[in-house]
Amino acid sequence: GAVVSQHPSWVICKSGTSVKIECRSLDFQATTMFWYRQFPKQSLMLMATSNEGSKATYEQGVEKDKFLINHASLTLSTLTVTSAHPEDSSFYICSAIGGRVKDEAGGPSNEQYFGPGTRLTVT
C-alpha cells in the first residue's frame, strides 16, 4: 500500500512555543490530507481537511489560528501548533488520499493512508 510519513515522531516543547509537524505522501500524490488528534484512551477526532493549494477546512471547535495547516504541494502538508499549551499535548495523526473521489457504488475505495503519528508533549 501507499506510504505516508510524519516528522517528527515525537516532540517535547515548552509552553508558549510553536511546533510544526510534517505529513508526507511518499509514493503518491495526495490531493487531500486530513489531520486528526487523539487524546489518551480516546478515539481519533478530525481536526481539519486540507486540499492542495487551498485553505484548510476546520472542524467545529478547532481554532484555525492556533492550528495552522498548509498543504503547499501534492506530497506535503504541515500542521503548526502555535503558542502550544499543556492541553495541546496529544497524538497527532495525518492521513492522505489521492485521486478523484469515487462513488461507493463501484470502483476502489479510495482508501485513506495514515501516517505513523506524532506525539506532542507540551511542558
Residues at the site binding other proteins, with contacts judged by CB under 8 A:
1, 32, 34, 38, 42-46, 49, 51, 57, 91, 93, 95, 97, 101, 103-106, 109-114, 116-117, 119
Q: Which C-beta is closer to other proteins: that of 9 or that of 123?
A: 9
Cβ distance 114 to 26 under 8 Å?
A: no
Sequential DSSP letters for 66-81: TEEEEEEETTEEEEEE
Of the two residues 87 and 103, which places its CB atom closer to other proteins in the complex? 103
Cis amide linkage into residue 8, ω under 30° from 0:
yes
Interacting residues of 42 by C-beta distance below 8 A, sequence separation 6+: none
Say if residues 6 and 118 touch (Cβ distance below 8 Å). yes
Q: C-beta of 112: minimal distance to other proteins in Å?
A: 6
Minimum distance, C-beta of residue 13 to other proteins, in the bound complex (Å): 19
Of the two residues 69 and 97, which places its CB atom closer to other proteins in the complex? 97
